């Protein structure tokens, strides 16, 4: 294993996240949310890790367009794949969380569904993920290796740019059940006025820990591909 230290940091941060995130009594007692407020260390961090991995993918896509090195294309593709996994985990954890906090407990679950399905944050996140699915499909449909790399790098830039209106802007200007909807300012998790000070001590390390886990998985995939595709790269 090369460059151990950040992998050890990742393990330590994740252990800290789970132990302190589940046990530490520094969370506010809030109605409706109750103990589920701890989900912020897990659900929100999935989206953070996804954003950072997609950002890394964008970096390598631009690098490919600049230097035409197929290594960058492989890296860009793998960062997207792992980013999508984290995005899907964020979506799945979000749907579990919302079914306990947004759904009306007096009604059957199906009755609250139409209300929840209209949630702009959900729709925006779904659109953003679908655009990244299309990235993978687009790559599969082009046979010429250089053309594939160039077109997908350009598409990657577009996809990353589209994340901002889909996830960050549109849900903020519409009425929304999700934190950070109409009326609140900025990012609810990063806003110093919103997030309880004690929770920040776990939340920020949690973001770093989960992101490092994503990067670790991605580097493994990249290293394996660089070995198997050695002939193509030369």
Q: Report the interface residues with another protein, using CB under 8 A.
A: 1-2, 7, 11, 14-15, 18-19, 22-23, 25, 29-31, 34-35, 216-217, 220, 223-224, 227, 230
SS (H, E, C) 14-61: HHHHHHHHHHCCCCCCCCCCHHHHHHHHCHHHHHHHHHHHHHHHHHHH
CA dihedral (90, 162, 78, 8) positive or negative: negative
Q: Give the up-direction half-sphere exposure of residue 95: CA atoms within 13 A in the CB hemisphere.
A: 12
Tell me whether residue 162 or residue 216 sits nearer to another protein (CB atom). 216
CB 28 → another protein: shortest distance, Å? 9
CB 173 → another protein: shortest distance, Å? 31
CA distances from 226 to 71, 72, 125, 186, 229 (A): 7, 11, 32, 41, 5
CB 131 → another protein: shortest distance, Å? 28
Measured CA to CA, the distance from residue 88 to residue 164 in angstroms comes to 18
Tell me whether residue 14 or residue 153 sits nearer to another protein (CB atom). 14
CB 225 → another protein: shortest distance, Å? 10
CB 10 → another protein: shortest distance, Å? 8
Tell me whether residue 34 or residue 68 sits nearer to another protein (CB atom). 34
Tell me whether residue 62 or residue 229 sits nearer to another protein (CB atom). 229
Tell me whether residue 1 or residue 137 sits nearer to another protein (CB atom). 1
CA dihedral (160, 54, 139, 151) positive or negative: positive
Residue whose structure tokens are 């160039």: 150
């Amino acid at each position: 294993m090369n460059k151990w230290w950040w992998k050890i940091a990742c393990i330590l941060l994740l252990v800290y996240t789970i132990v302190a995130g589940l046990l530490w009594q520094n969370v506010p007692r809030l109605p409706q949310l109750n103990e589920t407020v701890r989900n912020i260390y897990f659900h929100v961090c999935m989206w953070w890790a996804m954003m950072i991995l997609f950002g890394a993918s964008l970096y390598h896509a631009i690098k490919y367009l600049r230097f035409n090195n197929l290594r960058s294309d492989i890296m860009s593709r793998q960062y997207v794949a792992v980013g999508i996994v984290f995005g899907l985990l964020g979506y799945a954890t979000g749907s579990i969380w919302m079914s306990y906090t947004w759904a009306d407990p007096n009604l059957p679950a199906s009755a609250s569904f139409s209300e929840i399905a209209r949630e702009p944050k959900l729709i925006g996140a779904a659109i953003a993920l679908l655009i990244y699915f299309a990235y993978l499909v687009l790559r599969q449909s082009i046979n010429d290796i250089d053309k594939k790399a160039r077109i997908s790098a350009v598409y990657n830039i577009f996809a990353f740019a589209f994340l901002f209106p889909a996830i960050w802007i549109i849900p903020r200007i519409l009425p929304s059940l999700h934190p950070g909807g109409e009326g609140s300012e900025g990012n609810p998790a990063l806003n110093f006025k919103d997030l309880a000070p004690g929770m920040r001590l776990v939340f920020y390390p949690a973001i770093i820990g989960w992101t490092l886990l994503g990067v670790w998985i991605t580097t493994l995939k990249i290293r394996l591909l660089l070995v198997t595709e050695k002939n193509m790269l030369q």
